[in-house]
């Protein structure tokens, strides 16, 4: 089994369409999909994100990081939320992504989440991270 992150992305237009959807309706649609993931035993985590106008961007373009309040001006794509699934193959993750109740025009990016076992186990920082994961019940 491997973990895959399904990253939900939309444009300014798809985000505006989503905001037009009654909140209770959105909860119902997403809740039914989340329940399918739970029943299938593949859901590890899922979160939606707040309105982009409430966020900030820290830009590392120069020597000193610059913080800019949202909205972000011209945006071609916004990261709206994510799922982390534990499935057998990338193809299975793709099949779940196809079933996400999404606004037309939005996209779902799928990326594998490497496990800690894939990193050099004798590296000082990996040893510290593994210890932290064990203390917090993540391994």
- pTM of this prediction? 0.84
pLDDT at 104: 85
β-pair type (56-59, 66-69): antiparallel
> Tell me: the pLDDT tens digits for 79-101?
889 999 999 999 999 999 999 99
Q: Which domain holds residue 20?
A: 2-135
pLDDT at 72: 62
| 60 SS3 class | coil
pLDDT at 114: 93
Residue 139 reports pLDDT greater than 90: no
Specify the number of domains making up the chain.
Answer: 1
> Tell me: the pLDDT tens digits for 26-80?
899 999 999 999 999 999 999 988 877 788 888 898 999 998 887 665 667 788 8
Please report, for the domain that includes residue 20, its CATH number: 3.30.70.1060
Q: What CA–CA distances, in Å, run from 120 to 79, 123, 135?
A: 31, 6, 20
Q: At 6, is the pLDDT very low, low, confident or very high (cuts 50, 70, 90)?
A: very high
């Amino acid at each position: 089994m491997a973990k895959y992150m399904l990253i939900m992305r939309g444009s300014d237009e798809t985000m505006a369409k989503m905001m037009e959807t009654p909140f209770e309706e959105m909860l119902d649609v997403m809740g039914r999909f989340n329940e399918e993931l739970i029943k299938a035993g593949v859901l590890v985590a899922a979160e939606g994100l707040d309105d982009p106008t409430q966020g900030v961007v820290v830009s590392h373009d120069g020597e000193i990081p610059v913080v800019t309040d949202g909205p972000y001006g011209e945006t071609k794509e916004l990261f709206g939320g994510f799922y982390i699934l534990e499935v057998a193959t990338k193809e299975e993750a793709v099949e779940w992504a196809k079933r996400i109740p999404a606004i037309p025009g939005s996209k779902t990016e799928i990326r594998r989440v490497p496990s800690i076992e894939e990193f050099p186990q004798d590296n000082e920082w990996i040893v510290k991270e593994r210890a932290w994961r064990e203390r917090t019940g993540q391994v």
